[in-house]
């Protein structure tokens, strides 16, 4: 186990698509893709983060680039632990120091087994003490909402693997929902659409680029097109096509509809007084998935409630995690087996 010189307590957003690390007093010190390149013959980590992401779909047989987190939780414990160790080394260099306190965010409906896996992975990566916090709560704090007041705030956090929706009041979550539909689902839907319509196979990276460059959740709001290169499934040869925003909209329709239905469901379960607050204040969106073009406008159209995307939408969760870590001794929390809860 390795240690840091001056203990810098850390907030970690262990995301399906991206890992962000927040250091107390320093802000976000690391932001890297949740990807690990491993030599299958030796089981040795060759690269992590952006360097490993560039290897996806480009590696020889003995090297595999994997994403050890799926749907917001750990799917490969050993690889996640190795990845976390490498990220923390990268963040702090070779300084030798005391192990820090760490706070990690988890999906709002993560199981006890999933939570335990996160705690164990963080401990085995060098953390002295590990606390957990729900993602929408951390997102609200990171986006600057005052969650201690007796009025309702609604947060929709769309990450890579999960969409977490919560109504927050008096420092706790009143109504929550978490679905395994988010940024990765958008990418998968685009891959499937291109394969079925054009018989062209594209990779995750290409699908993500299409989503960002010409993607649209609201039909007719964006009219741009892009060329796409991939492998023709009929001839087996490289091929190129042109695809437009309306087609991406069609590809994303099912995933987007599931998110909107979950938002509506949470609104339906919200107590009347808090619902009135949300109508007045609107819905706050965070997470990389919230940046899908037109998604905020579509949710606004479907719910009748104004929607705002946080200025720090990608960093909101990890910044909130770091802020809470700095006030542990001043918060009223329930600590059960090294887990913190701000929701009950």
Name the DSSP letter for residue 150: S
Query: pLDDT for 124-183, tens place per residue?
Result: 888 888 888 989 999 999 999 988 888 899 999 999 999 999 999 988 889 999 999 999
Residues near 344 by Cβ (< 8 Å), separated by ≥ 6? 172, 334
Q: Which domains does the chain have, with CATH numbers?
A: 10-134+317-341 (3.30.420.40), 138-181+253-311 (3.30.420.40), 183-251 (3.90.640.10)
pLDDT of residue 96: 52
- At 56, list the tokens: 């996806």
- Please check whether residue 340 is in contact with residue 333, taking contact to mean a CB–CB distance below 8 angstroms: yes
Task: Residue count of the chain, please give it.
Answer: 344
Residue 344 has pLDDT above 80, yes or no: no
- Name 307's bridge partners: 283
pLDDT of residue 339: 37
pLDDT of residue 343: 38
Residue 7 has pLDDT above 60, yes or no: no
For 91-149, the DSSP string reads HHTT---PPPEEEEEE-TT--HHHHHHHHHHHHHTT-SEEEEEEHHHHHHHHTT--TTS
Closest CA to 215 of 204, 200, 226: 226
pLDDT of residue 199: 97
Average pLDDT, the chain: 87
pTM of the model: 0.87
What are the distances in angstroms from CA 9 to CA 47, 115, 132, 135? 25, 20, 14, 18
Query: pLDDT for 61-77, tens place per residue?
Result: 788 888 898 887 888 88
Which residue carries 């607050």 as its tokens?
Answer: 277
**Mean of the pLDDT values across residues 27-42?**
89
Residue 51 has pLDDT above 70, yes or no: yes
Helix, coil or strand: residue 31? strand
Query: pLDDT for 217-245, tens place per residue?
Result: 999 889 999 999 999 999 999 999 999 99
What are the distances in angstroms from CA 141 to CA 169, 173, 305, 315, 329? 12, 12, 21, 11, 17
**Mean of the pLDDT values across residues 190-211?**
96
Whole-angstrom Cα distance, residue 209 to residue 155? 26
Residue that wins the pLDDT comparison between 84 and 304: 304
Measured in degrees and rounded to the nearest 5, phi and psi for residue 179 equal: -125, 150
Q: What are the helix (H) ranges across the chain?
A: 50-53, 77-92, 112-124, 135-142, 183-198, 204-214, 245-269, 272-281, 295-303, 316-325
What are the distances in angstroms from CA 271 to CA 133, 155, 169, 218, 303? 23, 16, 11, 29, 16
Residue 93 has pLDDT above 80, yes or no: no
């Amino acid at each position: 186990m390795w240690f840091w010189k001056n203990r810098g307590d850390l907030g970690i957003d262990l995301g399906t698509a991206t890992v962000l690390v927040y250091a107390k007093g320093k802000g976000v010190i690391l932001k890297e893709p949740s990807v690990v390149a491993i030599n299958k013959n030796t089981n040795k980590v060759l690269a992590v983060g952006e360097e490993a992401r560039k290897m996806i779909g480009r590696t020889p047989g003995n090297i595999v680039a994997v994403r050890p987190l799926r749907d917001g939780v750990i799917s490969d414990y050993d690889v996640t632990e190795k990845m976390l160790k490498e990220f923390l080394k990268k963040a702090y260099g070779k300084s030798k120091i005391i192990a820090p306190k760490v706070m990690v965010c988890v999906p709002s409906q993560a199981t006890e087994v999933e939570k335990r896996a996160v705690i164990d992975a963080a401990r085995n990566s060098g953390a002295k003490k590990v606390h957990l916090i729900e993602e929408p709560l951390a997102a609200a704090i990171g986006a600057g909402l005052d969650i201690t007041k007796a009025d309702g705030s609604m947060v929709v956090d769309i990450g890579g693997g999960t969409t977490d929706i919560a109504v927050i009041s008096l420092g706790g979550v009143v109504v929550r929902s978490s679905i395994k539909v988010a940024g990765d689902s958008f990418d998968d839907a685009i891959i499937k659409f291109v394969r079925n319509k054009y018989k062209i196979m594209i990779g995750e990276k290409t699908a993500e680029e299409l989503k960002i460059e010409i993607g649209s959740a609201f039909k007719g709001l964006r009219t741009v097109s892009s060329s796409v290169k991939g492998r023709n499934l009929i001839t087996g040869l490289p091929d190129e096509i042109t695809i437009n925003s309306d087609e991406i909209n069609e590809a994303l329709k099912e995933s987007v509809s599931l998110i909107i239905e979950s938002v509506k469901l949470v609104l339906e379960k919200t107590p009347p007084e808090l619902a009135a607050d949300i109508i007045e204040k609107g819905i706050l969106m965070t997470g990389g998935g919230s940046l899908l073009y037109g998604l905020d406008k579509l949710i606004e159209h479907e719910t009748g409630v104004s929607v705002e995307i946080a200025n720090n939408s990608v960093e909101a969760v990890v910044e909130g995690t770091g802020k809470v870590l700095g006030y542990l001794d001043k918060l009223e929390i329930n600590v059960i087996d090294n887990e913190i809860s701000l929701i009950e």
